[in-house]
Structure 1
Amino acid sequence: MKKRSVKSKSILKHILVPMCILLITEIVILAISVYAGGIVERLEENSRDILQERVINKKGFLENEMNNTWSDVTLLAETINTKAEMLEKQGIISIDQLDNGSNEASPLIAEIADDMIQKLRSNRVNDIYVIFNNHDLDEDVSDKPGIYIRDMDPASKASNRNADLLIERAPASIVQKLNISTDTSWTPLFNFGKHEKDYYKFLYRPYQAALKKQKNYSLGDMGYWSANNCLDGTLQPFISYSVPLIDTKGRVYGVVGISILEEYLTTLLPNEEINGSGHASYELGITTKKANVYSPVLDSTLFDCTSNLTLLQKEEGYYVENSRDEVYAAIETLHLYNTNTPYLDEQWTIMSLIKDDDLMAFSHHINISLILAGLITLGVGMLGCVLISFKLSSPITSLSKQLKTQKKTDGKLQKTDITEIDQLVDSIESLNQNLLDSSRRFTKIIQLASVKMAGFEYDQEKNDFFITDNFFSVFLQDDIDSSLMTYEGFSQKMKEMSPYIKKKEEHKYVYHLPKDNDIIFVELTISWFDAHHVIGLAEDVTERILEQNIIEYERDHDALTGLMNRRAFHREMQILFDEPEVLKTAALLMVDLDNLKYINDHYGHDSGDTYIRKATEAFVKYSPSNTMISRVSGDEFYLFFFGYEDEEPLRKLLMELKHGIDESYITLGKYETFKIKVSGGISWYPKDATTVKNLQLYSDYAMYKVKHTCKGIFANFNKTDYDNDSYMSRNRAELLKLIETESLHYYFQPIVSTKDGSVFAYEALMRSFMPNLKNPEEILNIAKMESKLGKIEELTMFKAMEGYQENIKNHYFDENTKIFVNSIASEMLSPEMIAKFEKTFEPYLHNVVIEVTEGEKMNETLHQQKQKFVEKWHGALALDDYGSGYNSEILLLSITPKYIKIDMSFIHNIDKDNDKQKIVENIVSYGHEGGMLIIAEGVETVDEMKQVMKLKVDYLQGYLLGKPQMKSASIPNEIVKLIQSLNARR
């Protein structure tokens, strides 16, 4: 059959076609990388993420304003309750009759008007109002008295004469008294019955919730946000927050609240910050149980706000339903209510709406740019391929034409001026001669080599077999004549020698051949050139293997005892642990020679080596043959027992081993005998551990536990002891790191005067950010155990004062405020540290108050020294946590402090506990008689603060006044005013 010829191509095509294919492939790969890699999709996703982030930021702003600023009316409600009850006691009003008309409500309105205006200013809201009602709003519809004040621009500076305010609702007498202008829509009452109009939601919802469910909720939980409100006669819609008015008897008599005009709210949500296209807007919405349907709160630029807004959820996000354009919605939920409120059916949201084309404008631009860049690159690349291919193929094409036209007698070819092509002809001419010379040289080298080497070659396709004359002599069979041997005879002889093969690898065999009570090692390497052609090389490698065995033995064995060293033992253990069925039940014994140091010191190291060898002999003699024994260091050994069905036979073997060791001894000098003494720790597989690392760790721990207790025994690993020691070890390490890096921080909690609510002092409180040691009490306990209390005392004094000094320099603290620093009763700064302390903080020493904790054991000498330095500084002493110990009165008499800090256990719920009130009253009376000042610690509620102020404490400290912070935080204005009000009544 005639072979089909392959059509040849010119070199120009050979170069041009692959280059073009390569170029097109690169363009395709680039396109796939860009589009399959999702770059455009990620750009689109990034645009959505940026929009979502803006909505999240705006959500955080609104939540802060609505939850913390605008809706802050709880204290105002308490103030109204206080004044209402006061007027009722005076017979001026009746809380039960307040909604009978303006005459009944006017005295209370007049009393609270200034408080409402002040709250309007401080909360930065448009409106503030109070509506009085004493009846179930579901029974009838009637006009209600109250007051409604409006500030059209709360962001502008307030007028001293309230000229910027308008009265929307209030009795005429109140208008005249306040001298504030009325709006054009002013009426003296809230007109509901007159127009047969439903009550406003900001009145109805919180009032009815309080009337019917107040026992289930706190006052804050009944605060209600309402939307789309509008007073009769006005055109300004607003959102409102209101809480019910409930006196101490549980009577609900109205609501108090604030309002934000939607016009002002719109200025806080500028659409321009979303996108420069002009087709985007912020929207507020309210959703109920129906998912993705929102009642709009603000007017929308992209949809009609008079109807509900429905969002469709797609894979990319939310889109507006029934919109002419694709409008994308980024939405976040505002958390305005706690979980325990009566308004969980309403959920406020903020969203940003933008046309999808505007949102994705940048990614679309990038997509078009990539396509244009790819097309331009392809065109320029194709042109370059043609030019380069023509340039490369021209010299070779010219040479080819010469070869076709040139005669054999013409001599050399014309030079192409291309070095590689010009060298090609010369290389071909000299190739054969070089190959011949190389073959001769290699043959000579093999003949001169001192290594015994032989080989064979077999071509199966030609049935051609060659073997060197000395091949079988390498295998110690000099009587075999290989000159006439066939491949079949050769194969038969090699099969007869197969029992001597001791090691097999891929294409390599090692033979162990006996010779004169010794072993000769021969390595046979087989190599296939193709499926039919094989070559073999036999080499005497005895010397190399013996040297390798010596090196491996010295590497893996201890020179003194001949036992495995640590590295070899670990390697063999890893091999064993890969076969759990071989391990079964096992035990790792770590042994330490008890008296090796004594022998080395008193009899010399030669005797110590004898002691080690004798111990090794005992280990080997009294252990089963399958036991792995290793010397891991000078006097430490591992013995690994494995392959047992359960622990019982192993325990007997360990007892026999210990008995055998105890009976072993060495002779020192001429007559003195010395018994072998060892201590050991045992860890069990698989009971204690299933890994080599843990098994060694646990046996080490058990052995060292024995060494530091009773010595001379074998002890089992105890997990409980190990965990306890590990815990202490970690904490000790962390304490040392804490001290070394000075990683203690000090936060400052204000101490407030009961006279005017001003900050009198700050207490420095220890804080740690270490992984385990975070609790100050735990730090002090560990430091005491480690004798590091002195370092903690030093860190406390310097770090606390450094923070105090920094706050004064940054104007966070007033330079006259006191600083209370906790001192450890059993510790005192060294004279050098005291000198450094006085030099560093000299301007502030008179403000230092050293706190002595009642629970600490008092060191009388150190206390007198501290008192001496405090007097020198013109500072003071304070007794901390008074009442928490059993010797409170004795300690108080012994240290004579200027300040007594009553323990927070007496302050907690003191308003409900008569016994605590009596105790605190006695402490205050005793302290004041002795010229001491009283500080109530742990004040957390308004009722607790009121009670301790009744008992005439001098200062307050607790979370109600301020939490510990690195910098000062202002005391809440409502608390300051309440303190001033309560102090005026004392």
Structure 2
Amino acid sequence: MKQRHVHSLFQRLLLTLIILVLLISSIFFISLLNSSALQDLKASSFNLFDQRVMYRSDAIQKNLNERCLDTDDVAMIISATHPLYEHRKTLTSPYLNEDILNRLHSLTKTKKINGIYLILDKEVFHSKEYPAFYLQDASPEESFNDKTDITAKYGDAALLKQNDFILDQNWKPSLTMKEDEDTFDFYFKPKKAAEENPQLNMLNCGYWSTSSHMADSPTPLLSYNIPLFNQDHQVYGVLGIDLSVEYLKNYLPYEELNDHSKKAFLLANRESDDAYHIILSNGPAYSAYLKYDTSIVLTDAPYGKRISAPALSDDTLACAHQLKLYSSFSPFQDTLWYLIGVGSEDEIFYSTKQIHQLLLYACITALIIATLVALYGSMLFTKPIRALATRLRQTPVTTNKIELPKTHIKEIDELSASIEDLSYHLHGAETRLSYVLHTIDIPIGAIEIYNERKVFCTEKVGTLLGFRDPSKMEYTFKAFMEEIQLFNKKIISSEKQINTEHRTSDIYLIHVTNSAEQTCWLRFLINRVEGNRVIVVSDVTLEIQEKEHLMYERDHDVLTQLLNRRAFRVHCEAILKQADLKTCAMVLWDLDNLKLVNDTYGHDAGDHLICALADVLQKERGPNCIAARMAGDEFLLFYHHFENEEAILKHIRHIHEVVNETEMHFGNDDITRVKVSAGISWMPKDAMDFDTLIKHADFAMYEVKNTQKGNIRTFSEEHYLHNNLIFDGRQELMNILEEQRVSYAFQPIVDAKTGAVLGFEALMRPNSDILKTPSDVMQVAKTQKQLHRVEYMTWTQSLSHFSQQVAIDKQWKLFINSIPSIPMLDEIKQYLEEHYHEYLSKIVIELLESEEIEHSYMLSKQDFCRRWHAQTALDDFGSGYSSDHRLFNAQADYVKIDMEFITNIARDKGRQMLVKSVVSFAHSHDIKVIAEGVETHEDLVYLIQHDIDYLQGYYIAKPAYAIKDIEESKQQEIRAIYKEI
């Protein structure tokens, strides 16, 4: 059994408290994780970020809408440009141009924009280039009384100077543009939209774009462009405003997204593809990566969108809000503008992670504090218990009563009191036990070894082990081992015994010489109890002697003191396992005149005769020979390791002579010589195993007994093969008769005219591997004079099987094979009349035609038949003694023609003549004829055609253990054949 680990109370208590703390913490964390609080907190963090972006998108959309040109602004410009268009006077009219210029200047102040421009179509105004005015305000939020904050990029220089506008260093009088260049989409796209959508007004054709070409700006500009057309919808120019990206950044403060400046605003547009094209990026953490005209892709994420862009990590999230810059009627409504907030997951969920860390630190701190508290509490709780345990360990073993200190803890003090009481009672019990053992003088003692330091012995240990001071009871471990070394010198032998009751203990049996120089046996039972070794020593000399005596009686015959058959087998089989046995022999001896002595002088004299033979065998057997009494008057000698057979035969003949010369005196000085016979089997010539050697020696003895007693005969394989059935079947027959080990199969006998069943013949089936057929049983029974028992078994068992399957009202008969040489015994008649009298009228006794029938025996069976209205049949007619004479004298009701004369009768003239004569003779004496062995259809037809009364054979039905009618098809076949006659 596996020993469990030992834990202190302190460890158990500390472990329990720690498990409790861990359990509570686990419940807290599991509850927190299973709840949606942490997920809600994370969602709230992102929603806050999203709301800030949405708020800023509303603000920037409002700002852009305020700076867009509305209907009044457009009307004001139209009213100034329309006369110019009507007269096709491009820029030659100072009055008209000055009016346009002043109105453009007025719009820069009211809209607070970075620039405003008017571009006239060169085709309409018949110019090589596009006439244009472009005024730029570097600080639209600041207001000046003069025009010093305005610079002119395009327009008539004289007119501009006349109106106090400062010319830009890159000033140009007109603009050169090409329609196939994307940089001029700000002009051509709104112009084209107006031309293709005549139903739309100018504002609906407005177009937002990015460009830096007109302003020659290093940074992109956000522009809003409106086409100008007359009442006939002919476009003659485009009016537009500029908002610099740097100026717009003032309205996209990334600081409001968080406090760490690690987020950014993006202004982007998207057309038909999935990519977002960045217009501006405001935020130092992303400005270097998300520049103007950079394309990004947004994909769905658990929270918001995830940005896919070069040089950005995968943990960058975004939320995008669309800016409604176009109406639903605008041709550019598919071009969507977005304000996008960008930040890393760590930044967006910074507060959530802080709360996670705070919870983790709080839990770890709580666990540490709880562990320290549990440690301190456990130490405080177990301190008095440790002190109590220390006091117990320090208490001497021989102390009569243990006194323990008080801990002032109720339960522990109660335990201490119980220990004190227990120690007192144990000491008393030990004293009483020692007194009892001393009084009754039981040779037993105990040794306890404490942690390899001290040894305590009971009072008898010193005497049992022969210590120098037998009265000494306490030793140091070193002194005890010195005594044990002296004891070891007295050991004669030792063995370890198998312990089936106490598997944790070791048991040793030691044969020693005691102090009186006498041998004795000591048993040591060694066990471990909580680290200490406990040894129980007992003197088992009487037990060993008694055991040896019982073993001797078990292995030896009580009368002759030779080995019995069981012990003889053990010794022989041990020798047969050895290699190179050379020549061996098994000899079976048998007294020839034991029965005569028993009958003449009594069984005591027979016992003296048996002992005399045993004495001779024991005395004369010599080396390499084992003698045993087999049973009764049979003895066995096994010779082994001899050089040849002659040496063994010489020894056997010598013993035979000595036995035959031995004289016994019985009664009135009657002298009787001992006479024996012997059978020998050799190894390896005759057999290689114990059982076969004895069997063959027994067969040799059997031959001696059945030929000439008093001789010696060796086993003959030829004789054994010829007579082995009788030899082997002797005991088997007895077993069959005792155990009724037979079954009966039943073969139907049918009417040759109707196919109806007349009855069934009971056929014996022995249940034996030796006597396999009825003839084997009969052969052995005849030699063993057991035919009368076979006859009894045949009658009782066949009727038993028949009565169990056939109802009394059924008219079927039972054909029983009776032995003609056995009379109808009274015990058979009495048994049948008591148990089966209702079935006796159905019996047909079959007399074996192969046996010579005793006339008186036949008369006894005929009388039995007449008494019970039964019938007789002569079986196997034609195969035995003087068949015609037997048929005439038997006065049988049926005659069964042997199958030897039925088989192939349809083609054999000789068989036909014989059967015809039997049928004619039988019918003339009113005897019915039964044909046995019908196995073909041709034979069946012939027999029916030639007046056979009944049929039996495999063609009609095979013998079976179940009694039943034959198949209907066979009955129809028989009737059909008979009908054709």
TM-score class, shorter-chain normalisation, is: 0.3 to 0.5
With structure 2 as the length reference, what TM-score do the two structures score?
0.45
With structure 1 as the length reference, what TM-score do the two structures score?
0.45
